Amino acid sequence: MKAWTGQLLRVNLSSKEASIESYPKELALQFVGGRGFAMKILWDEVPKGTNPLSPGNKFIAAVGPLSGLAMPNVGKTIVAAKSPLTGGYGDGNLGTHFGSQLRRAGYDLVVVEGKADAPSYILIEDAEVSILDADNLWGIGAYEAEQKLEDLHGKNIGTLMIGQGGENLVKYATVRSMMGRSGGRPGMGTVMGSKNLKALVAKGSKSPEIADPQAFRQLGRDGFKDIRDKPSYDEWMSQGTMLIHAWCQEFSVLPSYNFREGQFEHAEALSGDTMEKMKEKTRGCPSCTMQCGHCIKDSEGKSAELDYENVSLLGSNIGMRDLREVATLNRLADEYGLDTISLGNTIGFAMEASEKGILDEKLDWGDFHATSQLITDIAFRKGSLGSDLAEGTQHLAKKLGKSALDFAMQIKGLEISGYDCHAAPGMALAFGVCSIGAHHKESWVITHEVDVGRDTYDEGKVDKIIELQRIRGGMFEQLVGCRFPWIELGFNLEWYPKYFNAATGLKWTLNDFWNLADRVYSLIRSYWVREFNGEWDRTMDYPPQRWFKDPLSVGPLAGAKLDKEGYDKMLSWYYKKRGWDERGIPTKTQLKEQQLEWVIPELARVTDLT
C-alpha cells in the first residue's frame, strides 16, 4: 500500500503501554482515513453504553493518505471520540503540525485508551513512545502549555493539547494547537482531560512513500499556483471567514440575542470591515496559503484571533457591541480551550433565561465584565452557575424545566453554529441531520438557499444537502484536508482524486468518494442509534422549537418562522434518499449495499430494523 503508512499507534494510559499495530488494507480502502478511521474504531472498540468520560472511551487522532504531503491545505488532523456533550459520535478537524509529524513518525492514527493516574502527556518520536509527567503543564492555559512543550522538545514538533476547560471536564472543551487552532467541538478536549492527558506531541523523521512522486510534485506546485491565481484570492485574504458577517446581517441570519433575531442593531461594529481596519496579522494551518485566522488586539492589548463563528456567537448572540471586547472573550476561550460556538450559545441561553426570570442569577445582554468572569467560572467550574454552564445548553435547559428547551439552541446536545434559520428551512435541516449535532461543517446550504428561495420546502434543497455532505462531511473529512480552497475560492474538486491517485496508485473518481461518504454517514447514524439504545426517532433530527414558534421580530423578515409540516416533509425525503427508514435508522438493505452488513447484528439488538 502506498501513501498510507499502514500503521496505528495504540497508547494505553492505564497500563502505561504503547504498541504499534499494522491495520488491515481493507480499513484504508473502505474508510480512507480521518473520520472514517475514527468511526470504525469507535464502533469496534468502544462498547455500547460506555461513559464518554470513563477510561473505556478512546481518544483518536487520525489523518489521511495525503496528510503531510506537498499539496495545498492538508495540514489538518481529525480528533474524535464518543462525545461527552452529546453521547453520540464526536469529532473535529483542526489545523496542526501534529498530523504530518505523526505520519513522519510512521502512523496514520493514534488511539489513546485508559486513564493516566496523574497528569501526563504522550511524546511520540518515531517508534519511541513515552508517557511523561505533565505536572508542570497541568493547570496552565493552551498558549503557555504549547510554549513550554516547544521549549522542551524543539520548534519542529506537532502538538495537540487542552487548556483548563478540558482539565476541568467542561463538556465542550476543544483540542488546541498552533496557538490559534481549535477543534473537536463536542468535547474532544474533555475526553483528553478525563484521561489526565494534557497533550500529545509528535516528531517524526521519515516521509510517507507515495506511488508517483514526480507527478505528485507537479500537481502540488500547480495546485498552489491555481489557488493563488484565483480571482477572489485577495478579497479572501482581506477578511477570511469574516467576509460572511455583512452577508449574514443583510439576509437576517446573524444570530442575535440567543437566536431570537437574525439581525443585530450593532452589526457594523462587529463586521469584517471593522475587523480589517484593526487587523494586526493573520495566522493559519500548515501547508496553507490562505491563512484565515485574523488577529486584532483585544481590549487588554493582547493578540486574539477572530473567525466569523466566534464573532457571531460571542458577539451579537450575547448582545456584545465592541469587537475588541469580543476578541477578549474569544482569547479567553482559546486560552481555556473552550468551544466558542457552544460557549456563546450557552451564555446566550442563560442571558435569556435570566431575562425571563427562570434563572435566579442576573445576567445582562452585552455585559462584558460579567461575561468574561463567567467564562473563567465555566472553565474552572466555579460556583453553581459556572458548573451548570460547563455542562452545555441542553443540560441547563433540562434543569430549568418549563419551556426552557424551546429556546435552548442545540440539536442532539451540540449547540448551533452561527446561522439563524427562522427563514432557512434547508439550513435548519442541514443542522438537524449533521452527524455530530448542530454544526455547519457538513452542509452549509444557507447561501444556496438564499439564492433559490428561502420559503420553499422542496426536494431540490434536500439533494443539495446530501451533495454538500458528501463533499464536506465526507471527502474532506476522510482525506483530512481543508475545504476552504474549494468552497471559498472555487478550487476544482477534481484536483482531489488526482492527488489521491498520484499518492496511492489507485484510480478513484469523485464518485468513489461519494460512495465512501455515504457509507460513513450510515455508520455514524448506526452508532448514534446504538448508543441511544434504540430510543431513536425522527425528533432527534428536529431543530429547537424557537424556529417553529417564535417569529423574528425585527428586520425585513419580521414575522418569519419555520413550518413544522414542511420541515417534516423534507426530513422524510432526506431519510428516503439516504436509504434510512422513517425514524432515520438505516435499513438492512442499505447497510448491506454499503458493505456495512457487520453492523446489522449489533444494531438489531437495540431496535427493529426494516
Give me the residues that bind ligand SF4 (CB under 6 A), please. Answer: 73, 95, 284-285, 288, 290-292, 482, 484
Cβ-based nearer residue to ligand PTT, 339 or 581: 339
Q: What is the CA radius of gyration of the chain?
A: 22
First-to-final CA distance of the chain: 38
What is the identity of the amino acid at 100? S
- Nearer residue to ligand PTT within complex by CB, 114 or 180: 180
Which CB, 131 or 227, lies closer to ligand SF4? 227
CA–CA gap between residue 98 and residue 434 (Å, rounded): 26
Q: Which of the listed partners (ligand SF4, ligand PTT, none) does 307 bind, with a CB threshold of 5 to 8 Å by partner kind?
A: ligand PTT
We find the least distance from the C-beta atom of residue 182 to ligand SF4, in angstroms, to be 11
174 binds, among ligand SF4, ligand PTT, none (CB under 5 to 8 A by kind): ligand PTT
Binding interface with ligand PTT (CB under 6 A): 92-95, 174, 180-185, 241, 285, 305, 307-310, 333-334, 338-341, 441, 476-477, 481-484
Smallest gap from residue 536 Cβ to ligand PTT (A): 24
376 contact, one of ligand PTT, ligand SF4, none, CB 5-8 Å limit per kind:
none
The phi and psi torsions of 301 (rounded to 5 degrees) equal 80, 10
Give the integer Cα–Cα distance in Å for 391 and 349: 13
Q: Which long-range contacts (CB under 8 A, 24 or more apart) does 55-59 make?
A: 55/13, 55/14, 55/113, 55/114, 55/115, 55/195, 56/113, 57/81, 57/82, 57/191, 57/194, 58/82, 58/111, 58/112, 58/113, 59/111, 59/112, 59/113, 59/188, 59/191, 59/192, 59/195, 59/197
Task: For residues 317 and 344, give the distance between their C-alpha atoms in angstroms, rounded to a whole number.
Answer: 7
CB of 288 to ligand SF4, least distance (A): 3
The C-alpha atoms of residue 327 and residue 61 are separated, in whole angstroms, by 29
Q: Which does 574 bind (CB under 5 to 8 A by kind): ligand SF4, ligand PTT, none?
A: none
Q: Which is nearer to ligand PTT, 313 or 529 (CB)?
A: 313
CB of residue 558 vs ligand PTT: minimum separation in angstroms? 27
User: Which three-class secondary structure state does DSSP give residue 321?
Assistant: coil
Closest to ligand SF4 by CB, 50 vs 282, is 282
CB of 274 to ligand SF4, least distance (A): 20
Decide which of ligand PTT, ligand SF4, none touches 73; Cβ closer than 5 to 8 Å per partner kind.
ligand SF4
Cβ neighbour number for residue 559 with a 10 Å cutoff: 10
Q: Supply the minimum distance, in Å, between the C-beta of residue 520 and ligand SF4.
A: 21
**Nearest residue to 316 via CA among 405, 412, 238, 246:** 246
Residue 281 CB, nearest distance to ligand SF4 (Å)? 13
The binder of 255, among ligand PTT, ligand SF4, none, by C-beta within 5 to 8 A per type, is none
The least CB distance from residue 4 to ligand SF4, in Å, is 22
Q: Which does 7 bind (CB under 5 to 8 A by kind): ligand PTT, ligand SF4, none?
A: none
Partner whose footprint covers residue 309, from ligand PTT, ligand SF4, none (CB < 5 to 8 Å by kind): ligand PTT
Cell of 467: 451533495
Chain Cα centroid distance, residue 232: 26
Cβ-closest position to ligand SF4 = 284
